[in-house]
Amino acid sequence: MENQDWVYSNIVKDHFLNPRNFLFGDEKQFEFDAVGTVGNPICGDQMRMYIKVSDDRIVDVRWKTYGCASAIASTSALSELVKGKTLDEALKIDAKAIDDYLGNLPKHKFHCSVLGHEALAEAIKKYRDGS
């Protein structure tokens, strides 16, 4: 299987094996202000991003993901990238920024970074809408 375009970078492996900010167990364990949930019916991945906001900044974030190593690593990386950012700054961390941070996912796994960004965007929209 040499020369196959599926090999993960070390940072992807690290975020997959040591996920940051993962919400283990019941959501009631984390006091959040909004949650965004997205899924991809083609691959079956699902992501849920919980944000805690103060003074228009994401002061804490937790997440749950049902998916592959790329989905888990993407969500973990995004959770680290958005902490301390204003809501507008966090929205600028798009799928390409996540992919770049991870050292590039295999091309057929790029959609995992898109899902993370979409889950965050939904959480921010719900926070702003008050829902």
Residue pair 70/12 in contact by the 8 Å Cβ criterion = yes
Question: Looking at the annotation, which residues are catalytic?
Answer: 43, 112
